[in-house]
Structure 1
Amino acid sequence: MEKDASAPDPSRQCNGFSGVLYGEFTDTLNDGVRYSVSLTESALTIQRISSSPDRTKRRWMSTGVARQRVEQCFRVALVQDPLVNLREAERWAHAIRDASVLQAPRRDGVTYTELRRPCRTMILVNPHSGRGQALQLFTGHIQAMLTEASVPYTLVITEHQNHARELVRNADLTQWDALVIMSGDGLLFEVINGLMEREDWQQAIQTPLGMLPGGSGNALAASIHHYSQSPPAWNEELLLSCGFMLCKGLVGPLDLVSVHLASSQRLFSFLSLAWGFVADVDIESEKYRHVGAIRFLMGTLVRLASLRVYQGRLAYLPAKEVPKPPNERVKATRPPFTSQQPSLCSSLPCHLVPRTSPKQSSVKNCVDTNLNQNSITNSSSVITNMRPETHGNNKTASPTDSLLPSLDQPVPENWTVVNEEDFVLVLAIYQSHLAEDLWTVPGAMADDGLIHLLYVTAGISRPALLRLFLAMERGSHLACGCPHLVYEKVRALRLEPVSQQGMITVDGEVVEYGPIQAQVHPRMARLICG
C-alpha cells in the first residue's frame, strides 16, 4: 500500500465516516489513480477517487457473501523515509488482521478464544488425498494467505498411513500453537488418536485443531463452514473459507466420541460411525478416488443396484431421558451379546484401510514456509492399532465412559432397544455434514454434546433411498416423511451386527467388524472455526 503524500490523517473522520482507519492511496502501477480505503470492524471498503468516471467500489470482509480472495496493491508514500512508510503499511496490516477477527461470526452461548500471535502452526498434508492435489491446492491458495496474515508454519508431508498419528504422538507440542490438517477427514482421525495416545493426552488434546479441505468428502471442513453462518460453498471456495478462518484464529470447543470395539480396543472419533449402506459406499468408492467428490455418487449408484439388508441389534441412550413404563419399552428379540457367545470377528485385529498410495519411504518430508525441505527424526514404527484404555504409571487416566457398560453386559434399562433386525444403514454422526454435498444433520453443532443417530430400516425401495440422499444435499431429508428413516438424538449407543458380512467405519476408516459401542464426550477437544 502506498499512500499519497497529500492524503489526510488516517485516523480522521471523512464525510461522516468514523471507523477504525481511513486513508487515500495510489495504485502501484499508476500513480495517477487514487483510492480511498476505509476499514471498520465489519468491512474493508475500497473506492476509486480519481477523476475518471469509473468510480469502482469494492467491499470486503462483510458477512453473508461468498468468500473470495482478491489482491489489491497500493503505494504508501507519506514521507521519503522508508521506515516511516513501512510502519504505516504495518499499521494497516495489523488493523486489517485484528478487524477480521472481530468481524468473524460468533454463536451466542459459546466462549471463543483466539490463537496466540504469531501462531506457530504445524500443517500436515496428505499429497495422495482426494484427487492427489492437496499440496498444489495449498501452495496455490493457502500459502499466500498465511504469509499475508503473518502465520508462521511448518509443512509436513505425510508419506504413509499413520504417519501423522505417530508424529503427533511423539512430537514436542510446546513448539506448536495449532495443528492443521490439509487432507480428507481420515488424516484428522489419525491426529486425534495420536494425541489421545500420549502420556499427556489431557493437555495434548487441547491443542487447537484446524481443517483445510484436501480430500474427497471434506465433511468436517463443510461443517465448519456451515457453523460460520456463511452461504454454502464447495471445492476451492470452501478451501478459501477454511483458510480465512485459520488466519482469523478463533477457537471453539469440539465434541469427541469414545468408541469401543469387541477386541477391547478403544479409539476416538470426531465425525461418524457407520454400518451398512453408508459404510459400503464410502469404502467401495475408493476405486473412483481419482474423480474427486463425485466418487460418492458413483458408489451410491453402484450399491443401489445391488441393495443389501443387514441384520443386527441397535440400542441407544436418548439425549432426553423420558421414563417409560416397562410395557412400553421396546424389547430386543434376541438375548444381549455376551463374550461367551460366538463372536463374529472378535479375533480379528483392528485394521484401517489405507487412504494413500502404497507405502513409500519412512523418511518424513518437512517443508518450511518457503517450501524448503528439512529433515525430521524418523519414528520407530507405524501404529496400526489403538491402545486399550490403560492407567499407566506415567499416563493420566483415560476419560471414563460412564454411560457404557461392558460389551458383554446388557444395556441399562433406561436405554431404548430397537426391535428391528433388518437395516439398510445405521449412521451415528456428530457434525452437520457427512460430505461437502451431504447436509446430514442441519441442526448439529460441533459442541452440542450429541450423537445424531439415523437409521433406515429394510423395505425401502431403491428410488426412495436415492431420493433420500438427493434430499440430503439440501438438508431436507428429515422432513420428507420417509417411513423407513428414523432420527434420534442420543448420548451413547451400541450396535451388534448379526449379518456375517459387512463393514463398520469410524470417521470413514474401516474398523474391526463386530459389536461396537460409543459415548459422546462434550467439548473434549478444540477446533479452529468461525
Structure 2
Amino acid sequence: MADSKSGIDVLHAMGEEKADVKEQVHLEETFYILSKKKSVFRVRLTSKGLSLIKETDDTSKEQIILLRDIIGSKCMRSKRRRVGGGSCVCTSLVGNQQLKVVDENSGDLDENDISAYLYIYAYVLKQNRRSLKRERTTITLRFRSFDKYEDNNKEAQKWRNTIKCLLANEPISSVPTYNEKKLLVLLNPKSGPGKARELFQEKVAPILLEAEVPYDLYVTKYANYAREFVRTRNVYNWRGIVAVGGDGVLFEILNGMFERLDWQQAFAEVPLAVLPCGSGNGLARTICHHFDEPFFHQNMTGLSMALARGKSSQIDVVRVETKSKIMFSMLSVGWGLMSDIDIESERLRSIGGQRFTLWALARTVALRKYKGVLSYALIKDIGNLPKPKQTIFGRSVSQDGALDSPETEAFFDCDEQTETYCADTGRKHQRVDSWYSVHSRRTFYSARGSDYHSIVSGGSELRSPVHACMHGPGSHLPSLMSELPSSWVHEEGEFVMVHVSYQSHIGEDFLFAPRSRLCDGVMWMLIIKAGISRSQIFSFLLKVTQGHISDINNEYIKMVPVSAFRIAPEGQNGYITVDGELVEYGPIQAEIFPNIVNILVPDTK
C-alpha cells in the first residue's frame, strides 16, 4: 500500500477508533484519500509503529510501518500558487499531479491553505526476487480539521513530537529531548575506487537530513589525519565518530582514541561508526550480518539509519605488538597469501572490491610459502565460553619499555583555518575540497546545522604538537622476545598463510568466521600449511565465498579458536597486515580484549 516513489497522501477528518489491546496506541485519527471517493485511512501511531488501515466500501486492508523503519518526520505547508500556474496544487491529487509543499518557516507559503502536512520518512524492508532491501517510503498526513492553520499545525506537531519520543525511546512529551551534539564524520576521499564523497553526499546526507541529525564533516588530507584529529580534539563535543571509507580510516580513529590519556572515558561516552566506501568493508559487512540488516555494495541505508538511532553494541578489540609499535585492531591480522593479495592489489584500487578476486587468481598461480614459528593459546571448548568480563584496564608499554606520557592534558582544540558550507545560511565559500567538482553532483545535502570543513593549503594542515603515545589496556602476555607459556600450541615449518580474524567477515563477500560474534573474546585463526595444491587453494577460496570455511579441516588447512597468538616469520620478504594496513615484517603477537569500544549498530528491536 505504501509506494516508495509516490508515497501515501491522506486527508485528516475527525474520528476515533478502538485501541488495539495488544499494543499501546498513542495517537489515532481518520484520514480521507483525496483521489478516491468512499476510501479512508484509519491511522494509528502505536508502540509498534504506524498502522495504516485502508477502508474502501466493505473491504479493509492494513499495513504496518514498523517504528524501527521510521527515520524521522517533518511538518510542512503548501507552496504558494504561481501566477499562471493553474489551480491550487492542493485541491486534488488525481493523476500525476504532485503535492507541492515547503518548510513551515519558508517565505513561499500558500497563506490560503490552512492545512498542515506531516511528512513521515521510512525505509521499509521489502523482499525482492533474491533478497531483502530497504525502500524509501513517504507517508503524508494532511491535517485540516480546524479553521486556522495554527490549530491544524498544533495537531500535526503533536504527532511529530510523539514520533520523535518513540524513536528516541523516551516518555511521550510535548517537547521531546533534543540532542544538540553533532556527529563527527571523518571521510577518506581516496578509499576504494575514490567515490566516498559522492556516496556520502547521495546516500547518507539525505537520510541524516530526514532524521534531523547534524554533523561536522572533515575530509582527510593525508595519512593518519583521522588519527591525529581524534587524539588532539575534544571528542566529547560530538555524539559519535563516523569513519567514511574503508576499514583503514576506522583503524586510524581507533588508534587515535587509544593515544589519549582519557581513552577509557572517551570510548565509554563516544561510540564509533563505519560507513563502507572502501574495497574490503569487512567490519561494516559484519555489523549488518549480526543485526540482520541487508548489505549491498555501496548501499549504506541501514548503517546510515544506525547513525540517527544511536544504538550501540560493544565490540572486541585486539592489542597487537610488533618490535617497534603497539596498535589496536578491530578486524584481523594476516601473514602470507591474503596479506599478499591485500597489499599487492593496491595497484588495482580503482576497480573496487574486484581487485581482490583478480589478484587472488594471480597469487594462487604463483603460490608462495613462508617459513616461521606459529604459537597460540587455544580455546579448547568454544561452546562453553564464559561471558566476557569487564576488562581490567592497565597501561600499555611502549617500545622502549616505559610509558612515555605527557604530563599535560592529552587533547585540545587546534586553531586552524577552515572554510565552511552552512546549511542554514546557504553561504558557499571557495575551498580546496569542494563538492562541486566535475565528479560530483551540484546538490549538496546537509542536515540542519551541519558543516563541511576543509583544511586549506599553504601550511595550515593540522599537525598535532602533542607527543603520540599508545595507552590502552595493559598486556597479559610476555614481552615479544620472551618465552611463551608451555600451555601454548607451537607449530614450526612452512606456511602458505596464517590469517586471524575476530569478526565474521573480512570482506563484503568473505564470510571468514561464521561462529564469530562482535564481543565474544574469541579470535579465529586460519592456518594453511605449505604442500597444499593449487586446486585445493581454488576450492578453498570458492568455499569461503559460500561461507563454508569452518567446514574445511584437513592435513593442510585448519581453523582454530584462540585468545592470543604470536607469529615469528623467518627472513625479510613478505607482508604482515593489521586491519588491511601494512606493518613491519617480523615477529608479531596479539591478544583480545572485550568490553572496551562501543560501535553504532542497526536497531532491530
**TM range, normalised to the smaller chain?**
0.7 to 0.9
Task: Indicate if the aligned counterparts of 2:277 and 2:298 stay in contact, CA closer than 8 A.
Answer: no
Structure 1 residues 46 and 141: CA distance shift in structure 2, 3 A: farther
Report the secondary structure of 2:321's partner residue.
strand
Separation in 2 of the partners of 1:75 and 1:163?
A: 48
How far apart are residue 100 of structure 1 and its match?
Answer: 5.3
Match of 1:148 in 2: 210
How far apart are residue 66 of structure 1 and its match?
Answer: 3.2
How far apart are residue 19 of structure 1 and its match?
Answer: 3.5
Match of 1:281 in 2: 341
How far apart are residue 408 of structure 1 and its match?
Answer: 1.5
TM-score (normalizing by structure 1): 0.78
Report the secondary structure of 2:243's partner residue.
strand
Give yes or no for the alignment of 1:442 onto 2:514: yes
Structure 1 residues 42 and 163: CA distance shift in structure 2, 3 A: same
Match of 2:15 in 1: 8
Structure 1 residues 313 and 244: CA distance shift in structure 2, 3 A: same
Match of 2:245 among 176, 183, 199: 183
Match of 2:279 among 204, 216, 224: 216
Match of 1:400 in 2: 474
Report the secondary structure of 1:72's partner residue.
strand
How far apart are residue 436 of structure 1 and its match?
Answer: 1.1
Match of 1:381 among 463, 468, 483: 463
Match of 2:428 in 1: none
Q: How does 1:451-530 map to 2 (within 5 A)?
A: 451-530=523-602
Separation in 2 of the partners of 1:366 and 1:184?
A: 25
Give yes or no for the alignment of 1:245 onto 2:252: no
What are the Cα deviations for residues 388-436 of structure 1, in whole angstroms up to 9, with x where unaligned? 65xxxxxxx642101x111121111121112x32111111111111011
Q: How does 1:130-149 map to 2 (within 5 A)?
A: 130-149=192-211
Q: How does 1:233-312 map to 2 (within 5 A)?
A: 233-237=295-299, 239-263=300-324, 265-312=325-372
Give yes or no for the alignment of 1:128 onto 2:135: no
Structure 1 residues 267 and 83: CA distance shift in structure 2, 3 A: farther
What are the Cα deviations for residues 289-316 of structure 1, in whole angstroms up to 9, with x where unaligned? 2222212111211211211111111111
Match of 1:204 in 2: 266
How far apart are residue 45 of structure 1 and its match?
Answer: 4.1
Structure 1 residues 72 and 63: CA distance shift in structure 2, 3 A: closer
Structure 1 residues 38 and 500: CA distance shift in structure 2, 3 A: same
How far apart are residue 214 of structure 1 and its match?
Answer: 1.4
Match of 1:24 in 2: 30
**Match for 2:140: what amino acid?**
C
Separation in 2 of the partners of 1:464 and 1:258?
A: 33
Structure 1 residues 434 and 405: CA distance shift in structure 2, 3 A: same
Separation in 1 of the partners of 2:494 and 2:417?
A: 47
Structure 1 residues 411 and 463: CA distance shift in structure 2, 3 A: same
Separation in 2 of the partners of 1:483 and 1:24?
A: 69
Separation in 2 of the partners of 1:204 and 1:72?
A: 39
Give yes or no for the alignment of 1:318 onto 2:378: yes
What are the Cα deviations for residues 311-338 of structure 1, in whole angstroms up to 9, with x where unaligned? 111111123489xxxxxxxxxxxxxxxx
Structure 1 residues 16 and 183: CA distance shift in structure 2, 3 A: closer
Contiguous gaps of at least 5 residues in structure 2:
1-7, 70-123, 127-131, 170-176, 383-415, 423-445
How far apart are residue 442 of structure 1 and its match?
Answer: 1.0
Task: Indicate if the aligned counterparts of 2:23 and 2:46 stay in contact, CA closer than 8 A.
Answer: no
**Match for 1:524: what amino acid?**
I
Report the secondary structure of 2:372's partner residue.
strand
How far apart are residue 502 of structure 1 and its match?
Answer: 0.4
Task: Indicate if the aligned counterparts of 1:251 and 1:528 stay in contact, CA closer than 8 A.
Answer: yes
What are the Cα deviations for residues 132-156 of structure 1, in whole angstroms up to 9, with x where unaligned? 2222222222212212222221111
Structure 1 residues 154 and 26: CA distance shift in structure 2, 3 A: farther
Once the two structures are overlaid, the 10-residue window that deviates more, 474-483 or 215-224, is 474-483
Separation in 2 of the partners of 1:528 and 1:474?
A: 27
Match of 1:92 among 153, 159, 174: 159
Task: Indicate if the aligned counterparts of 2:375 and 2:489 stay in contact, CA closer than 8 A.
Answer: yes
Structure 1 residues 276 and 55: CA distance shift in structure 2, 3 A: same
How far apart are residue 125 of structure 1 and its match?
Answer: 1.4
Report the secondary structure of 1:283's partner residue.
helix
Separation in 1 of the partners of 2:29 and 2:301?
A: 28
Give yes or no for the alignment of 1:170 onto 2:236: no
Structure 1 residues 382 and 289: CA distance shift in structure 2, 3 A: farther
Separation in 2 of the partners of 1:400 and 1:259?
A: 11
Report the secondary structure of 1:70's partner residue.
strand
Task: Indicate if the aligned counterparts of 1:118 and 1:150 stay in contact, CA closer than 8 A.
Answer: no
Higher relative contact order (CA 8 A, sep 6+): 1
Match of 1:37 among 13, 33, 43: 43
What are the Cα deviations for residues 254-288 of structure 1, in whole angstroms up to 9, with x where unaligned? 2111111112x111111111111111111111122
- Aligned sequence identity (%): 32
How far apart are residue 387 of structure 1 and its match?
Answer: 5.1
- Equivalences, count: 465
How far apart are residue 52 of structure 1 and its match?
Answer: 12
How far apart are residue 221 of structure 1 and its match?
Answer: 0.7
Structure 1 residues 41 and 376: CA distance shift in structure 2, 3 A: farther
TM-score (normalizing by structure 2): 0.69
Separation in 1 of the partners of 2:180 and 2:36?
A: 34
How far apart are residue 484 of structure 1 and its match?
Answer: 2.1
How far apart are residue 466 of structure 1 and its match?
Answer: 2.1
Separation in 1 of the partners of 2:381 and 2:420?
A: 50
Q: CA RMSD in A?
A: 3.4
Report the secondary structure of 2:528's partner residue.
strand
Task: Indicate if the aligned counterparts of 1:266 and 1:386 stay in contact, CA closer than 8 A.
Answer: no
Separation in 2 of the partners of 1:365 and 1:297?
A: 41
Separation in 2 of the partners of 1:413 and 1:191?
A: 36
Contiguous gaps of at least 5 residues in structure 1:
103-114, 323-361, 390-396
Once the two structures are overlaid, the 10-residue window that deviates more, 481-490 or 447-456, is 481-490
What are the Cα deviations for residues 440-460 of structure 1, in whole angstroms up to 9, with x where unaligned? 111111111122211111122
Separation in 1 of the partners of 2:14 and 2:358?
A: 59
What are the Cα deviations for residues 174-221 of structure 1, in whole angstroms up to 9, with x where unaligned? 211211112111000000111111121221223201111111111111
Match of 1:77 in 2: 144
Match of 1:327 in 2: none
Larger gyration radius, structure 1 or structure 2: 2
**Match for 1:249: what amino acid?**
G
Report the secondary structure of 1:455's partner residue.
strand
**Match for 2:241: what amino acid?**
L
How far apart are residue 499 of structure 1 and its match?
Answer: 3.6
How far apart are residue 90 of structure 1 and its match?
Answer: 3.9
Separation in 2 of the partners of 1:286 and 1:509?
A: 11
How far apart are residue 94 of structure 1 and its match?
Answer: 4.5
How far apart are residue 515 of structure 1 and its match?
Answer: 0.5
Separation in 1 of the partners of 2:46 and 2:538?
A: 47
**Match for 2:474: what amino acid?**
T
Report the secondary structure of 1:421's partner residue.
strand
Report the secondary structure of 1:13's partner residue.
coil
